[in-house]
Structure 1
Amino acid sequence: MQIQVNKSSVEAVDEAQKKQKEAKKKARTIEYQFNKAQEEVKTVKKKTDCEIKKLKNEAKEKETFWMRAYIILVLLTVIKNTVFQKDLFACITVPLRFWYRYIEWLIHPSELNILGEREYFSAGWSWFLRIMAILIFLGLGISSEIFVLRKIEQYRKAWDKYSIWILLISVSSIAVIGDVVRKYFPINLILLLGLINIAAMEIKIYCHNKRELY
């Protein structure tokens, strides 16, 4: 009886060990399959990322090509548009003419009388006007510079490819229909171009700030 009990115990131990070995074998198999599946997922993910990156680069290259082609087309249109060229020339000459008259006035302060004749001020009054004109000019210059630098920084942060397309489209549109616009609105086309792009950037910054607020 004792022998049978011992034999049964041994068989039970062997059976338990056998089951334990099978369980370990199954666990190793499952672990191997899991690791293999992970490797396959990583390989597929890496391959997919490479394909996405390749497609993005191809799309970027195509976009760059078409943008350069459009820029060349816009430049050719601007070169052929005489009104656009005259307005561009005016944007350079008008400030220079104003600066020249300002310097001339500082040297000889004067005013026009009722008859349209130029009358020069006395020496003391002339120096007072010179000093006041210089102070006003410096104040306006410094204030304008600070304002412009702040706006440039805002526009630099908001500048992207869509801003470039807006600029190109507005330039090409004004260059093509500039003659028609000048017939109804006597405005400098360069100034109009600047106002359009400034308005577009201000709207973009406003919408961006509004999205961040909410």
Structure 2
Amino acid sequence: MTKVVTFVGEGGKTTCAVGCAEAFRQAGLRVLLADTTPDQAAASWQRLAGWQVPVLARGGVRADRDHWAAIARDEYDVVVVDTAPTAGYAGRPAPILRASTDLVVVLTPSWVDLDTVGARLATYAPPDRRSVVLLNQVVPGASASVREAVAAAGWAVSTTELPLSEVHARAYGRDPGTLAAAFTGFAAALITTWREPFAVGVW
């Protein structure tokens, strides 16, 4: 069965989706990156850098149709979906979530972003999906309070934290191979969960 890993949230979501897709590829999986964002940033990035991960660049209803078709053909082990930014989404994640097996909520460890994303967490992750919060752009020592708040709300938080770094900030348009190193542990943990029986709340 094809796994569909959908990235939602704020703060470097496209960079996380690209890095994770490349990490899956380096782990030997057949990977498709579905770019459903209005600006098609991941697709543009692929054209500039010439990745080995194919990108499906579509928007709206057509994205859902093509997305489902790729899954139905069982051409890929995993489809990584980059969604539109939270701020302008107005409830639109629902169609894509129907195809998702796993939700990754990208969050920078700030109270502003936690407030923005937190109000939509229930919409993002229905109870029959594995869901995890991935902290991104982390300054050393600055994530503990946000991590505790997310965990207190009943959300799984990945042990992987992606640092605020110049490498990530300048990654766009470059080969994502080196970027993927930061996502190796996260991708490996996700692959491990696919070998285990699904339980609500377990990631």
User: TM-score when scaled to structure 1?
Assistant: 0.22
Greater share of strand: 2
**Structure number with higher relative contact order (C-alpha < 8 Å, ≥ 6 residues apart):** 2
User: TM-score when scaled to structure 2?
Assistant: 0.23
